[in-house]
Amino acid sequence: MPENSNHAWDYSMGVLHLQCHKSLWLYKNNPELRSEPGQEAQSLFKIGDTVGDYAKNLFPDGVEIEFDSSNFNGMIKKTNEAIAQGVDTLYSDWHSF
């Protein structure tokens, strides 16, 4: 699998797939078509960060998988390793299909 795999998904991409699978395909296969996020999207990102912080406070013993746009396989590997080690709570986990 290439280092920047088109088969790596996070929660946001799963939601995008449910909303519009064609949009997900474009997002994954034609990144040059992406526009810069507008003010509304920035607000949603900020809300997502706030919800993530709230979840970390509710479930403080979790493990965060740090985002690295240059190494999707590394994020998937870290996710799988944490699951194999019995980690119950993951933040920003990544999966491959």
pLDDT at 85 (0 to 100): 95
The reported pTM is 0.59
Please give the pLDDT value at position 6: 57
Spans of the chain, pLDDT less than 50: 1-4
**What's residue 31's pLDDT?**
77
Query: Could you tell me which of 37, 17, 63 has the C-alpha nearest to residue 9?
Result: 17
- Separation of alpha carbons 16 and 24, rounded Å: 6
The domain spans of the chain are: 8-96
- What pLDDT was estimated at residue 56? 93
CB atoms within 10 A of CB 75: 22
